[in-house]
Structure 1
Amino acid sequence: MTIHQRTRRLFSISLATTLLLNICDAQAPSLDPILAPAIEHDDGAGFDAMASRGYSPLFNGKDLSGWWNPYPHGEANVVDGEIHLTADQKFFLVTKEKYSNFRVSVEIHLPEGPANSGVMFRCHVDEDAKKKVFGYQAECDGSDRRWSGGLFDESRRGWIWPSTKGRSLNQFLQHEEESKAAFADPRIANALNRNGWNRYVVTCVNDVITIEVNGIQTVRFRDAMDATGYIGIQHHGEKDQTYRFRNLFIKELPQIPAEQHVQLTVQEPVSIKRINDSVTQIDFGKVAFGNIVMPAPPGRGTATIHFGEKTKDGRIDQDPPGTVRYGFTPIRLGQQRGNWIVPTPIDPRNVQQSGLMNANPPAVLSPDSWQSVMPFRWIEIEGLDPDYPFELVRRRAAFSSTWNDDASAFECSDETLNRIWELCKYSIKATTFAGVYVDGDRERIPYEADAYLNQLSHYATDDNVTMAARTFDWLMENGTWPTEWAPHMVFMAHAEWMHSGDTEWLSHRYESLKSKTLLNRSGDDGLVRSAEIDRKRHDIVDWPQKERDGFVFTEINTVVNAFHIKALQRMAELARAVGKPNEAKRFSDRAKLAMSSLQKQVFDDEAGIYRDGIGTNHSSIHANFFPLAFGLIPDDKRPGVLAWLEEQDMQCSVYAAQYFMEGLFNNGSDCKAIELMTADGDRSWKHMVNSGTTITWEAWGMNYKPNQDWNHAWGAAPANLLPRFILGVQPLSPGWTTTTIRPCPGDLKFANGQIPTPRGPISIQWKKDSSFVMLVNLPGGVSADIALPVTDEATGVWVDGQPVEATKTKDRWILRDPIQGSATIEAK
């Protein structure tokens, strides 16, 4: 199959997806425009937002430094921070520098009347030619044809996508029908704001070209004609017409976050043993991403370094299951002096930047200076004499350069929970190796849901967590396909704002979050619709598929809508935070509408629980614990849902378990949550720690996900669940100026620990018997609302030996006044 045949077939799939989505969208209301991303009013905010996300300006807003006009005609001027082009003949203003792989962002405002412009990229200049500038262009089409966002090859091959007879080469006419149908799709045809500002984003990674107009992808195509060239902007030649451009930015690719944010730590072996006459095994105690440095071996011939995550019968397993890692590197003896870095073998998926057209986003690369790394605990050195100094072999392990092992702590009366905490905390540390949160070692890319769970646990275990915001920005540019993963971006932004209190950071990203709420798929009743392609591929519910508790997919399903509603509620909070109260009200009203519709249409009044969706009588645990975790269940219905869930087992994946546990802990079922976390059998974190693993898994076991890896941070949910719920510490306001301390002890006798915050650590110690005693130490500038669990014999609450006003509810003593500093609080 040729590249263009494959492209045509895959685009047909994409087009079918879009058309099916439009069937759903036919039921969508005319949403208030304020709920769509806005770029119309700028006043410098767009410039600051792009710089905040790591882009470099191509235009400084003051003069045309770095640009030139290769034509004898045409005029370019800087007016109020914009580039204005005027001419009576076509011309292009181009950069003086060439670029290869990049993401470029340009905002364009067309003049009234006949107008046509575009963004040139990887283009060329021939000063001796009449048509001096030629090459790729992202079309900005002001005509009724509406081909804005199309891929055009200026003064060379003509239209590439869409293609048309007389203006395209024959090779591109193969996809004429599909490409024209794509641009007839209303979402693409209407992507351009004809009388306003439009943001064009062009991404070039090797031979893959992607074009977006106002957040709508219009083109994704492979073409190898040009690998490098200039960036340019166009005046089409209409006399007395002014074309305006602003916020011209570029981010050169690939970005390698680990270069600035990760360091290699040299580690000594934990044990060394000679296996036989030619093999020595070295154990480093825990799995880490890294490689080996060793004294260069003398002699002649070759030796082999085997790297492994798993052992079998006392040896490195050279044929491990799933994506569990094994590899080997041959070395030549006598070719070096001094210390020798031995890189690990390279998995192509971990470095891939441009795969198939429907493949994952580019992998996150590690620095070339490291040489290649992989996760391993053991090495076996084969072919060296027993007198070689094996004790001098070291592992170079990659961790966040700011990781602080002393930032957090947890201990309780249940030793299994203590072991779970240590496993999960180390899992978060070990998976910081890429500088952003990645999916273990399969593709080495961030996924939205994985990243959110990782983010929560990173906040709870470390005191420098810039990686969370960095991962958010990465995912906004390299999003993945699942439906529920998009709302996780709203969750990530909300969590970052609550943790850091940085409203400026949030304001630079607020508008782009609107596209992550699933509003484009919602109907007049507020509920999100799922077309057939969504039900078959995009709607996740849980992953892997076997972990869905028999969930029945319908056009309107409970899980997708629970995520939608929670994203709207959090968008309302974020809108208030950035000073947009009218938008906050509209998001809030939309959430209320959807929540009312969901309750009426999917709640089974007879059973007292939620069905999976409209059109099925099946009720999975997912259809119930997601609404419970998100606080969407009416007060009078919550006890029934909770009682039903308390009868269920861990019928979900390690990912969904985060939300199952949150729902239980938040609603007084801490005993059930702890029971599930420490249960016998193979569906609990107890099973993980008893297996001997040192990093959490992607799934409960190989029988649930045969291709899983063993270094996946989304399996480390207890790293955040234990501090947030058993110790009970969570931020109540942005930046941790106020907190809530609400311990969920279950049947535990005591717990203590330290929770990092941007204002300093919070330490907690509590003990439960006939009374409940808690010692709290808060950093300066932090106050805490206290909610102690009720004990049988307690009649009141004392703080530092003095009685205080507190209200007793069914299961809590709620203190009237917040506390500050250090205090001993006792319900007795």
Structure 2
Amino acid sequence: MMPRLVFVFIALFLAPTVCWSESLPIASISKPAIQPDGSAGFDAMVSRGYTPLFNGEDLSGWRNPYSHGEAKVVDGEIHLLGDKKFFLVTEKKYSDFRVSVEIHLPEGPANSGVMFRCHVDEDAKKKVYGYQAECDGSDRKWSGGFYDESRRGWIWPSTKGRSKDQFLAHSAESKAAFADPTVANALNRNGWNRFEITCINDLIKIEINGVQTALFRDATDASGYIGIQHHGEKGQTYRFRNLFIKELPEIPAEQHVELTEQEPVTIKRINDKVTQIDFGKVAFGNIVMPVPSGRGKASVHFGEKLNGDRIDRKPPGTVRYGMTEIRLGQERGNWIVPAPVDLRNVQQTGLTTANPPAVLMPAAWQSVIPFRWIEIEGLDADYPYEFIRRRAAYSATWNDDASAFECSDETMNRIWDLCKYSIKATTFAGVYVDGDRERIPYEADAYLNQLSHYYTDDNVTMAARTFDWLMENGTWPTEWSPHMVFMAHAEWMHTGDTQWLKHRYESLKAKTLIHRSGDDGLVRSDKLDQSRHDIVDWPQKERDGFVFTEINTVVNAFHIEALKQMAKMARAVGKVDDANAFESRIELAKASFQKTLFDESAGIYRDGVGTDHSSIHANFFPLAFGLVPEEKIDGVVAWLEERDMQCSVYAAQYFMESLFQNGSDKKAVDLILADGDRSWKHMVNSGTTISWEAWEMKYKPNQDWNHAWGAAPANLLPRFVLGVQAAKAGWDHAIIRPMPGGLKYARGKVPTAKGPINIDWNNDATFTLAVELPEGVSANIDLPAGEGTSGVFAGGEQVAATQKGDRWVVTNPVSGKVSLEVK
């Protein structure tokens, strides 16, 4: 019996086609462009960690197994010429990988493709056979199809007479998929095209120019060669360039994470069989212990939570518990005791509609789990428990001294400590992952983690690494896609690395949601989007009653903010025409957004077209993104100030930003410190040592207790309470704008790409600020204007400043050490 082939339909095929007005200049910003000059693409692939399959100079590593056909190198390209079909193949075999090849078809009749996991039979007439990603130059337009060369024929799409019977069951469905204009027109018939093929175990994915064309399971081949094809048309030249591969799985922790051995904080004998050890805080790791003498077995219990004075062995949600048995007396030295393995944490090809591959840990480490306590059962009281160590995994470059925060409220200080440690503890995988549920990056989770990592550590390469991971392993929610634009913009602003940005700029065009927008500039959501893809907040019960409609306020707020950031980045990389096109689209969308979604009678935003319901999300997202017209801001802020934390820990990042940015810092601080179970005060009072995925188990019963998106104060406190933000990419220029929020004093150290910025302010009878800037950094100062104050003074002398509302804005930038007083 043939193995059953599992097909997963691509949601992209179900997306509605949108026709844009010809008068709007969006053609260049709607999808990635491949540069005519291949060197830009080469540099971009190297920057993203790919290995060249072709060195651009000769055919080292390649061979032609046929007696016919010619392959030569011309100006950094491979040219194939011949009058019969042949393939050029690699000398090396590959198993799991992501391969990228750019193809330029000749004019006239032409057909080519990329062979992968293919085979060579030296004695056969048709020597090369196996998997192929089709490059179809005909009017049939099946480019990106999955073909089995010289074996089973067409797999996806399938067609009678050219496919095995087992594939004909999806013939109509697969042909309909290739009739979709997005897929049918993915190939640039007269230009360069980037084919990307991903193989992980039995899962095969094919993309052309960023459009997914096939996603299929087939276990026929697990490894083989990479190949390129000349179809045999006499006089035709097939051109190939930028041939790259990235072998999978990637394991970022191998290079970027270290294990730290930690001593017990307390050791307690529970009874004659059990000893409990507390390591003080939760960390991802396992333990190493002296090999016990004797015969038989003992067991080590790992726990993230206590139930009374014992490890909770049936914890709620995905709070972690596990047990590992150890043998006694059979070795000398130390045992590494691995934590139990959760299959979700290592799964590479689960349900393709659910999750991309999990981020693996180095095999040499053995498995890890988040835990604080262990209980060892079965060892005598005289065993040397004091020599047991936890091997905790943290970023290899983490610097505990890089950042600091202290203020007049002790609970806020505890919140800072919790959130800073949460960022440190969740660096264990080498990229930002979703705690310990699936151990995969999610775009929104990663962005919030990224912001906090910049403000707590001084050597942050993990953000850029996670960005590249997510561009190849994206997830499904609508608003998660624009978060990729946010991540790229944040990395550029932090590092000032325009070259890094240039290598990734084009790929970001697919992340703005513009493919779902209409002539009015607003994004549409079909029924599937409304029921599954559009998030608004997570979990679902945290949406404040949000009503989903075809045109909704939250999705469009994200879309417009993504366009705004893309326009800035386009100018930074010299894409002036793109920047102009983005800005034109922004103006159109903003006008439509205000006209369509603002409720003039209520003075706030509706959830969407077709409903009168107004959630806090429909108002704080536009406010955080600067979409509220100046004359409407006070009304929206006043409405939000009457609300409590009616959102999740994820959305709270944006809720707090909207308040801090618009003069409502007292409300923001009050919400962070609020009583009840929907605040960070509740988290620290619970005794947790890593931030949670949700405010409390009752709001998300399956939540985990090690989720960095719950650590937003790690960036909110230095950005807004201390008031330190970058004004220009790379931190050449900063903004110092403290927001006291009712606090009496605050001081701290903020890491930047140019060195730390030290801040110390007091909010008493007068407001005083002492700031120390690193060499080469200047800053604009913006200070609270207390009631009755007359200006800003330095050393008793008044400095030039302008009062704007309740703030004093110092006229001239400052540098070095500065002390100022508002009086």
TM-score, reference length from structure 1? 0.98
- Match among 740, 745, 755 for residue 740 of structure 2: 745
Give the drift of 1:702: 0.5
Structure 2 distance, partners of 1:470, 1:137, is 30
- Match among 474, 483, 487 for residue 479 of structure 1: 474
Give the drift of 1:669: 0.2
Deviations 1:479-498 (A, max 9, x none): 00000000000000000000
Write the letter of the residue equivalent to 1:670: D
Task: Look up the match of 2:90.
Answer: 95
2:822 maps to 1:790: no
Does the aligned pair in 2 maintain the 1:411–1:753 contact within 8 Å?
yes
- Match among 442, 455, 462 for residue 467 of structure 1: 462
Task: Look up the match of 2:613.
Answer: 618
Give the drift of 1:746: 1.3
Task: Look up the match of 1:440.
Answer: 435
Q: 1:2 to 1:186 in 2, by over 3 A?
A: farther
Give the drift of 1:34: 1.2
Task: Look up the match of 1:22.
Answer: 16
- Match among 713, 738, 745 for residue 718 of structure 1: 713
Does the aligned pair in 1 maintain the 2:145–2:213 contact within 8 Å?
yes
Deviations 1:340-397 (A, max 9, x none): 1000000000000111232300000000010000000000000000000001110000
Does the aligned pair in 1 maintain the 2:5–2:218 contact within 8 Å?
no
2:237 maps to 1:235: no
Give the drift of 1:166: 1.1
Give the drift of 1:28: 7.4
Deviations 1:617-660 (A, max 9, x none): 00000000000000111000111000000000000000000000
2:26 maps to 1:32: yes
Q: 1:461 to 1:114 in 2, by over 3 A?
A: same
Structure 1 distance, partners of 2:404, 2:138, is 63
Does the aligned pair in 2 maintain the 1:459–1:465 contact within 8 Å?
yes
- Match among 687, 691, 706 for residue 692 of structure 1: 687
Deviations 1:242-284 (A, max 9, x none): 0000100000000000000000000000000000010000000
Deviations 1:277-300 (A, max 9, x none): 100000000000000000000100
Q: 1:285 to 1:273 in 2, by over 3 A?
A: same
Does the aligned pair in 1 maintain the 2:648–2:694 contact within 8 Å?
yes
Does the aligned pair in 2 maintain the 1:770–1:794 contact within 8 Å?
no
Give the drift of 1:18: 2.7
Task: Look up the match of 1:368.
Answer: 363
2:570 maps to 1:575: yes
Give the drift of 1:801: 3.5
SS in 2 for 1:785: strand
Task: Look up the match of 1:811.
Answer: 806
Write the letter of the residue equivalent to 1:244: R
Write the letter of the residue equivalent to 1:391: E
Does the aligned pair in 2 maintain the 1:556–1:614 contact within 8 Å?
yes
Q: In terms of mean alpha carbon deviation, does 579-588 or 446-455 score higher?
A: 579-588
Does the aligned pair in 1 maintain the 2:781–2:809 contact within 8 Å?
yes
Give the drift of 1:32: 2.9
Structure 1 distance, partners of 2:675, 2:146, is 58
SS in 2 for 1:174: helix
Give the drift of 1:325: 0.3
Structure 2 distance, partners of 1:120, 1:693, is 52
Give the drift of 1:40: 3.7
TM-score, reference length from structure 2? 0.99
Deviations 1:760-798 (A, max 9, x none): 100000001121100000000000100000112421111
Write the letter of the residue equivalent to 2:219: A
Structure 2 distance, partners of 1:271, 1:111, is 73
Does the aligned pair in 2 maintain the 1:303–1:384 contact within 8 Å?
yes
Write the letter of the residue equivalent to 1:498: M
- Match among 754, 775, 789 for residue 749 of structure 2: 754
- Match among 192, 200, 205 for residue 200 of structure 2: 205
SS in 2 for 1:736: coil
Write the letter of the residue equivalent to 1:551: F
Write the letter of the residue equivalent to 1:788: L
Does the aligned pair in 1 maintain the 2:6–2:217 contact within 8 Å?
no
Task: Look up the match of 1:180.
Answer: 175
Give the drift of 1:802: 2.7
Write the letter of the residue equivalent to 1:34: S
Task: Look up the match of 1:73.
Answer: 68
Does the aligned pair in 1 maintain the 2:51–2:246 contact within 8 Å?
yes
Alignment map for 1:8-19 (pairs within 5 Å):
10-11=8-9, 14=10, 18-19=13-14
Does the aligned pair in 2 maintain the 1:403–1:462 contact within 8 Å?
yes
Does the aligned pair in 1 maintain the 2:5–2:217 contact within 8 Å?
no
Task: Look up the match of 1:120.
Answer: 115
Task: Look up the match of 2:417.
Answer: 422
Structure 2 distance, partners of 1:647, 1:738, is 36
Structure 2 distance, partners of 1:217, 1:532, is 21
Task: Look up the match of 1:667.
Answer: 662
Structure 2 distance, partners of 1:564, 1:265, is 42
- Match among 595, 607, 611 for residue 590 of structure 2: 595
Does the aligned pair in 1 maintain the 2:442–2:475 contact within 8 Å?
yes
Structure 1 distance, partners of 2:151, 2:717, is 62
Structure 2 distance, partners of 1:91, 1:671, is 72
Q: In terms of mean alpha carbon deviation, does 796-805 or 339-348 score higher?
A: 796-805
2:127 maps to 1:132: yes
Task: Look up the match of 1:355.
Answer: 350
Q: 1:5 to 1:211 in 2, by over 3 A?
A: closer
Aligned residue pair count: 821
2:298 maps to 1:303: yes
- Match among 30, 42, 47 for residue 42 of structure 2: 47
List alignment gaps of at least 5 residues for structure 2: none
Structure 2 distance, partners of 1:661, 1:548, is 16
Does the aligned pair in 2 maintain the 1:771–1:793 contact within 8 Å?
no
SS in 2 for 1:291: strand
SS in 1 for 2:400: coil
2:331 maps to 1:336: yes
Structure 1 distance, partners of 2:232, 2:6, is 38
Does the aligned pair in 2 maintain the 1:565–1:591 contact within 8 Å?
yes
| Cα RMSD (Å) | 1.2
Structure 2 distance, partners of 1:126, 1:6, is 28
- Match among 517, 523, 528 for residue 518 of structure 2: 523
Structure 1 distance, partners of 2:5, 2:544, is 39
Does the aligned pair in 2 maintain the 1:806–1:815 contact within 8 Å?
yes
Write the letter of the residue equivalent to 1:150: G
2:59 maps to 1:64: yes
